[in-house]
Amino acid sequence: MPSESCVADADSVAPVVTAPSRKPVRPERRHTSPISNLPDSFPVGNPQTPPVMVVLDSLSAQGDSVSIVPLDSVPVVASPLIAVTDSIARAPEEKKFTFVPDPTKAVWMSALFPGLGQLYNRRYWKLPIVVGGFMGLGYAMNWNNTMLRDYTRAYSDIMDNDPSTKSYMDFFAPTVQESDLNKEWLTNILRQRKNMYRRQRDLCVICMIGVYLVAMVDAYVDAQLAHFDISPDLSVDIAPALLPTETRKNGLPGLGVCWAVNF
């Protein structure tokens, strides 16, 4: 129905006529089948499906199980890392061990057994010299002592008048007869050999004592020299110098040469 409205004006009132409202034209449906049967559709509010249950307080129920730890009770993880870093940076340096032998101990060890002092001083190359010399002289002393004993008995047998003692014949072949030998010549030979082997035995004993003492002295001196700081600068400097002389009348210094040895 048409509606009329009045608009008030200062001089006159005129009726205003409005056009009747039209309903919007609904477009025609192009789909013959229902929209619910289309592949890209989904049912909304299907009364046959059970209603969806949304648990609103499930998160809140699980949230109660999470305990909030105060900030002060949480251990600081950075502290162990800092400690490990500091321990690596401040690691003590390995000190090189410098062996300094004791001279007294070296002497006593060398006196206990020849060559033991050289082992204590770590002079291993001297050990074969000391031990080899001592053992060689010991073998020579034993051999000369054995020969001295045989020639002494033979000389004693030839000097007595007992025909049953003929040990001097052991030095000859079994085919040699005693009547074929000159007794005076044989006596002189036995006496000379006896004296020679005695001297050689005594000399071996003296040499063994000498090697024993030399090993002790070497161990002591080697241990003493280990305490000295030997500089690598081994040089000789020769330079001119002025030598003061008080005996000269003019009092002028004399010219000379200065010789300095660095060791």
Q: Region 174-188: what's the mean pLDDT?
A: 86
- Helices then strands, counting H and E runs in the chain, come out as 6, 4
- Name the token pair of 27: 């477009």
Instruction: Look at residue 7 in the predicted model and tell me its pLDDT.
Output: 40
Provide the residue count of the chain: 263
Share of the chain above pLDDT 70, in %: 58
pLDDT at 263: 59
- Taking the C-alpha atoms of residue 217 and residue 229, their distance in angstroms, rounded to an integer, is 21
pLDDT at residue 129, as a whole number: 94
Task: Give the mean pLDDT of the chain.
Answer: 74
> Which residue did the predictor score with more confidence, 64 or 113?
113
Mean pLDDT of 105-134: 93
CB 186 within 8 A of CB 232: no
| Weakest mean pLDDT among 30-39, 148-157, 179-188, 228-237 | 30-39
**Is 90 exceeded by the pLDDT of residue 243?**
no
Could you tell me the CA-to-CA distances from 110 to 12, 104, 121, 170, 216 in Å, in that order?
151, 10, 10, 44, 5
What pLDDT is attached to residue 2? 44
